[in-house]
A and B are shown apart, each in its own frame.
Chain A
Amino acid sequence: MKKNASKAPAGKTKQECPGALNPVRRAVAALLCALMILSLSSCWSRRELNTLAIVLATAVDEGKESGELKVTTQIVSPGEIKSGPSSSGSSASKKAYANIDNTDKSVISALDGFTHITNRKMYFSHNRILIFSREVAQKGILEDLDAFTRNYETRMNVYLLISKDKAADILDEEIELEQMPANHIAEMLEAQHSNSETAIITLLDFDIAFLSGSTAPVAPMIEMYEIDGKKKARLEGTAVFKQGKMIGELNVAQTRGLMWATGKAERATITIDTKDGKVDLLIIHAKGSMKPVKAEDGTFRIRLKVYAEGDIESNETGKDMSSVENTEMLQEQVEEFIRAEIESTLKHAKTLSADVFGFGEAIRRDYPKDWEKIKENWDSEFSGLKTDMEIDVKIASSGEMGKPVVQGGAE
């Protein structure tokens, strides 16, 4: 914007160029233009921090009348952040957040309707979780998701959750560790890697799963429970969708089976019932892959490979589980366990006729021409699909101890 006003155009002196202004005038003219441009163009998109309502979580419920949706947003109340984490139970201390809701015909009109209720503009860039209630999910959530995908403020790594009861109640969770339930739930989701019993789904994952014609998208489920008079939230189970509508659920064990099969399991704790007692194993790494195999008659079989590596976490049998035969026995039992979980998931998915694993996608990638033929009847194909499972478990160590501590064991 700064013009080098003192340099006359190359090769021209004042005599050749009669209309040229002298440098001071040019500088003044340039400055005036700059000031006008900047002041006229100024600050349309300016948002001061104290005019923003920072939304951390959004929940969508059914409204009182049919066809209406109630959108609840959890907004940070910055003034209360200064006081440290609220001590338990004191209702006199103000919360660091506020839940505001609005009811309207669709999600986007409800969001716009917030401007009638609050003095601040809703700011969605820090929205971390998106919760839909079960009723809304059963009616179909695709139209609602479109608004969130298209908007430039929202991000694709927002977590998707389905609540078993009312979604707005989840946002009222009372926890001592965090100041805001939204942060608590989002971080809880991120910590689910350690049990691999929850599918962690972002908006991007959901959309990708939906874009493929055959896969059934899934989303984790969350419910509220009460303990000592306090309401807390718990992640349990997975919701299965088909064509944007929720059609069924997977329980915890079935969810883990899904995780094993799709290779998303990371850490897990498995309890084996041996004839002498219980042994707990901690799986540290798990890998899974699925590969479609075409048989000679043109039908497909899916070969699932799961590899898991773990340690013995606790040994309640009193016997020495670190001996080689016992380790082998444990490995076999773990393999059986995993196989049973995956089969349970398969059976349930076939009942629901929902391809949660992504077998269709796998066939489409490797055998696109055959996929064209069978994709119309994928539902019936899926029910009859056979799988071969290869499960390989390795128990790497038995923790810090070899033999267990039993009475008289030192003698």
Chain B
Amino acid sequence: MSYIEKLLLRMKIQSEKAEEEDWDGEAEKDPQKLSKSLETNINAIKKEFEDCCDLVIREFSFGKEGCIKAALIFIDGLTNQPLINDNIVKPLMYDSRFFRSDETSGVSDIEELRDRLISVGDLKTDQTYHELSQACLSGDAVLLVEGFDKALDISAKGWEKRAVTEPVTEMVVRGPREGFIENLRTNTAMIRRKVKSPALKIRPVKIGDRTNTQVNIVYIEGIADPALIAEIERRLSNIDTDAILSAGNIEQYIEDSPNSPFQTVRYSEKPDTIAGKLMEGRAAILVDGTPFVLCVPMLFIENFQASEDYAVRTSYATSVRILRVCAFFISLFGPALYIALVTYHQELLPTTLLITMAASSEGLPFPAALETTIMLISFEILKEAGVRMPRPIGQAISIVGALVMGEAAVQAGLVGAPIVIVVALTAVSSFAVTFVSDAVSILKWLLVVLAATMGSYGITLGALAIVIHLASLRSFGADYLAPFAPFQQDDLKDTVIRAPLWAMRTRPRALHPQDLKRQSFEIPFDPTVAHKGGQGEKK
């Protein structure tokens, strides 16, 4: 007993200490202002950026006879060198005003430089060392002038970035092929190009004590629920860590149920997907440095929706949706059902099928549950290896895996042929619904264990437990299983079926949008009849 008490006491003390030692961000420090002396400023910067060899401090003087001393500080690699040369250094050095002898010999205010000389679009003044260092680290060039305690923060961002290409994780057949890249501003620009309205608001947040990652919250005012935006901001401001390296990190801090295997925050790599979700009343969170954009709130049914569905024909889109739902069920229940049927409920198989399966399981050493487990584990290893392998070897893995392991295992009499088919079908189905495949690959095991011990009774109860869990999930105030769980008939148009676009008159109610109506066509829609209020009407 006393050992446990000691353990508990130790853990308590540790947690108390950890609370005290909370890392204070640099922002807590007293923001120290710049001094008027150039020398002091430069020395302070040099000290702060000691051992940072990529910091460049270019001291120069301009004006009549070089009477004005100045220094330009920037980080090599983050800045656009031609811009610094042409738009900052050149105007300062060659401006004719300074050569007129009867004019004032100096500059009265740094603002004058800003207003008259520096020909760069984005320009700010900084007053503290902290702002200065942040500016340098963001890729700006800072101009310090002797005698002024303000610095000019000149935007000179230019670093190597990836070209806009087709996103790797979301392939489309018919639809735009742009994908987000790692640069935040380019991403917001891509969204802006889809929604050309000033109602598209972008709010900046900085997260991460040491990484100081830029995060933008994007939403459409007038559609998105203000409570949602307030909640997002509150959760983002609650993040108290020192490193945010990807959108996935942020997702884990802000999501409603961290322990649930199901995602409650959607991510996407395509601007048109995000724009579509913004129009429904959601908000997007863009993180600098990662091409994945988060989108909240998320509903379960979004796992089966793709942006391409809205670009193809209604009947085809509906059939593909239904197919995806079937694939989800196959990937979740496939192995478990196989085990339950073969081990417990042989009366549910048609006689001929049962005889064939009995024939193929003659002489096999393992019970059905064990051989399923073996095959599933081998397949998971194969899948993971295929993702991480360098490309030349990756091809060999797939051939080795499929042919050798499956075929040879059957030939050697280790596993039966039906189980190889079941596992292959399960695996392929899980690729058809990629968003939910993480959850599926965990829950699949739970169902396999339940099936192996309790047969289809176990599967039923396991499935019920999953459904109960899903019904109790909330995503930023929206019910996860809407429109099924609180049954909203109007929203069923975009779930398993995809109703024609002219029939989807309202936005999903589960997201509590402010402007419920999207369009006001009469159902059924007849394009040959004139509609009032059509935008294409020529006035």
Contacts and interface: CB of A to CB of B under 8 A. Distances in A.
Interface stretch (B285-293, B353-361, B521-529): B353-361
A38 B359 contact: no
B21 interface: no
B363 A50 contact: yes
Residue picked from B362, B452, B455, most chain A C-beta under 10 Å:
B362
A122 to B, nearest CB: 12
Contacts of B346: 47, 49, 52, 54, 123, 125
Contact of A46 (B343, B351, B363): B343
Contacts of B454: 41
Contacts of A2: 446, 465, 469
If over half of A's interface residues share one DSSP class (helix, strand or loop), that class is named, otherwise mixed; here it is loop
A45 B368 CA distance: 14
A82 B452 CA distance: 28
Nearest to B12: A14
Nearest to B458: A38
A46 B358 CA distance: 15
Contacts of B257: 4
Interface size bucket, B side?
A: 20 to 34
A265 interface: no
A42 B458 CA distance: 11
Interface size bucket, A side?
A: 20 to 34
Contacts, number: 78
B103 interface: no
B18 to A, nearest CB: 14
Contacts of B359: 78-79, 81-82
Contacts of B343: 46-49
A153 B356 contact: no
If over half of B's interface residues share one DSSP class (helix, strand or loop), that class is named, otherwise mixed; here it is helix
B347 A126 contact: yes
A4 to B, nearest CB: 6
B368 A48 contact: yes
A410 interface: no
A10 interface: no
Interface string B102-113: 000000000000
B259 A50 contact: no
B450 to A, nearest CB: 8
A241 to B, nearest CB: 29
Contacts of A79: 359, 362-363
Interface string A317-332: 0000000000000000
Contacts of A54: 346, 351, 354-355, 358
Nearest to A42: B453
A177 B256 CA distance: 64
Interface string A100-143: 00000000000000000000000101101000000000000000
A1 interface: yes
A44 B382 CA distance: 34
B259 A38 contact: no
Contacts of B455: 45
Given A2-B446, A4-B257, A52-B358, 11 more contacts: A5-B259, A6-B259, A46-B344, A47-B343, A49-B354, A49-B358, A50-B363, A78-B355, A81-B359, A126-B351, A153-B347
7 contacts: A5-B259, A49-B346, A76-B355, A78-B359, A81-B356, A81-B359, A126-B354
A-B interface, 4 closest residue pairs, ranked by CB to CB distance from nearest: A125-B347, A78-B359, A78-B358, A42-B453
